[in-house]
């Protein structure tokens, strides 16, 4: 039981990270209707920028951990958001009214560009960082000496995710930008006729998605203590799987899917085999889609003939 509880905590933390990335996929899909294949790499860039900012701050003699974390978070969110904006501007906007496969291939190309850009710029080797946040709480001490632990970093990841999610839900439901985004999602032409700046709204969607991915990248860096240029691919596929599992286009669905994928992966590694954890995650995706072809919370697509 203790072992299960510990795995549950680990799974929820991993799921939060996936959920943050999945939101970027689901938002872009909702508005533009394309798979942003480069999103996983945006997450990786976010991790790199967090790492570099952290190194610079530490070498300047800054020691207050909360201050460092805040600055790292803001810098990586800002710069990564600009990456998201640039990617949309260069690779997707010219293809917005093209046929469906074109932006997707352009996105795959962009993903190759970003992966190899960071390989060329920062080298191929894994970049380890020493644990920045240490300590934690012991929740329960089992009879056989097994302890259920909740580390501070896990608390930070979960709290950050909840805060961001609340902020983001508020943004989508209560602000002008959120209203514009929902309008564009329903009908871009009509929205533009009613005075919504469609280009700007779509750009902002990419910017917000990239900023959330940057947070996920930083959390990944803090939690696992390493980044490398290839981590965007696997994390990206998992997060996209999460978005599809939850029902693509649905924001709560993305978070739910992320948590589920995180839990499946962790529990499978704990009870069966570590090697096949990704196979388990993908198989469950396929099984779910057989019975619920639009995901868990997705709306069925209306067919117009």
Partner 1 sequence: MDGRVSAPPAVQTSRAPGAAFILKKALISAFVALVLFSLMIGVRTEAGPQGQLVYWTRFDDLAIMVAAVFGGSILVELLRQWWGPVDTIRVVPPSVQTALAVARRGIAPVLLVFTFLVPVLFYDERYILDLAILVLTYVMLGWGLNVVVGLAGLLDLGYVAFYAVGAYSYALLATNFGLSFWVCLPLAGILAAFWGVLLGFPVLRLRGDYLAIVTLAFGEIIRLVIINWQTLTGGPNGVTGIPRPTLFGIPLTPADDGLAALLGIEFSPTHRIVFLFYIILALALLTNWVTIRLRRLPLGRAWEALREDEVACRALGINTTTTKLTAFATGALFGGLAGAFFATRQGFISPESFTFHESALVLAIVVLGGMGSQLGVALAALAMIGGFELFRGLDQYRMLVFGMAMVLLMIWRPRGLIGHRAPTVFLKHSQAISSDLVKEGHG
Residues between 71 and 130 that touch partner 1 (CB under 8 A): 75, 79, 82-83, 86, 90-91, 93-106, 108-130
Question: Any contact of residue 166 with partner 1 (CB under 8 A)?
Answer: no
Number of Cβ within 10 Å of residue 8's Cβ equals 15
268 and 217 Cβ atoms separated by less than 8 Å: no
DSSP-derived letter for residue 133 is: S
Site for partner 1 in 265-284 (CB under 8 A): 273, 275-276, 278-279, 282-283
CB under 8 A, 24+ apart: contacts of 137-145:
139/5, 140/2, 140/5, 142/1, 142/2
Q: How many residues bind partner 1 (CB under 8 A)?
A: 85
Q: How far apart are CA 289 and CA 257, in angstroms?
A: 12
Q: Is 29 in the site for partner 1 (CB under 8 A)?
A: yes
Q: Determine, following the binding rule CB under 8 A, whether residue 169 of this chain makes contact with partner 1.
A: no
- The single residue among 241, 250, 266, 269 that binds partner 1, judged by CB under 8 A, is 241
Nearer of residues 100 and 145 to partner 1, judged by Cβ? 100
Q: Does 177 bind partner 1 (CB under 8 A)?
A: no
Q: Select 150 or 298, whichever has its Cβ closest to partner 1.
A: 298
CB 137, min distance to partner 1, A: 29
Figure out which of the listed residues 133, 172, 233, 270 binds partner 1, where binding follows CB under 8 A. Answer: 233
248 binds partner 1 (CB under 8 A): yes
Residue closer to partner 1, measured from CB, 68 or 198 = 198
The DSSP secondary-structure symbol of 275 reads T
CB 177 within 8 A of CB 171: yes
Binding of residue 68 to partner 1 (CB under 8 A): no
Query: Strand ranges (DSSP E) for the chain?
Result: 127-128, 136-141, 147-151, 226-227
Regarding 164 and contact with partner 1 (CB under 8 A), the answer is: no
Spell 208-220 as b/e; 16+ CB within 10 A means b.
bbbbbbbbbbbbb
Closer residue to partner 1, CB minimum distance, 146 or 233: 233
Any residues with CB less than 8 A from the CB of 191 and at least 6 apart, and which?
180, 183, 184, 198, 201
Question: Smallest distance from the beta carbon of 126 to partner 1, in angstroms?
Answer: 8
Give dist(CA 69, CA 263) in Å, integer.
27
Which one among 177, 182, 192, 296 touches partner 1, defined by CB under 8 A? 192
Contacting residue, 55, 64, 65, 162, with partner 1 by CB under 8 A: 55
Please say which residue, 3 or 276, places its beta carbon nearer to partner 1: 276
Q: Does 134 bind partner 1 (CB under 8 A)?
A: no
Mutual orientation of helices 152-174 and 2-32 as an angle, nearest 10°?
Answer: 30
Q: State the CB neighbour count (10 A cutoff) for residue 26.
A: 32
Residue 289 binds to partner 1 (criterion: CB under 8 A) = yes
Residue 27 in the binding site for partner 1 (CB under 8 A): no
């Amino acid at each position: 039981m203790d072992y299960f509880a510990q795995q549950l905590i680990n799974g929820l933390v991993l799921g939060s990270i996936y959920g943050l990335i999945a939101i970027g996929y689901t938002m872009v899909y909702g508005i533009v209707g394309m798979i942003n294949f480069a999103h996983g790499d945006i997450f990786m860039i976010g991790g790199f920028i967090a790492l570099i900012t952290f190194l610079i701050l530490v070498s300047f003699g800054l020691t207050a951990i909360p201050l460092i974390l805040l600055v790292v978070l803001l810098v990586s969110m800002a710069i990564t958001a600009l990456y998201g904006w640039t990617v949309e501007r260069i690779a997707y906007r010219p293809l917005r009214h093209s046929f469906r496969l074109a932006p997707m291939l352009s996105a795959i190309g962009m993903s190759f560009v970003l992966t190899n850009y960071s390989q060329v710029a920062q080298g191929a080797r894994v970049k380890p960082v020493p644990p920045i946040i240490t300590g934690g709480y012991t929740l329960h001490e089992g009879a056989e000496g097994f302890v259920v632990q909740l580390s501070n970093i896990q608390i930070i990841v979960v709290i950050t995710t909840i805060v961001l999610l609340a902020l983001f839900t508020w943004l989508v439901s209560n602000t002008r930008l959120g209203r514009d985004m929902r309008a564009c999602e329903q009908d871009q032409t009509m929205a533009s006729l009613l005075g919504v700046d469609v280009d700007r709204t779509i750009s902002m969607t990419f910017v917000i998605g990239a900023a959330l991915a940057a947070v996920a990248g930083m959390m990944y860096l803090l939690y696992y203590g390493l980044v490398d240029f290839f981590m965007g691919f696997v994390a990206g596929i998992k997060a996209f799987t999460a978005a599809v599992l939850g029902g693509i286009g649905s924001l709560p669905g993305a978070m739910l899917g992320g948590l589920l994928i995180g839990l499946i992966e962790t529990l499978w590694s704990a009870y069966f085999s570590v090697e096949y954890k990704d196979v388990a995650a993908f198989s469950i995706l396929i099984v779910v889609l057989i019975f619920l072809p639009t995901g868990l919370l997705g709306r069925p697509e209306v067919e117009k003939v």
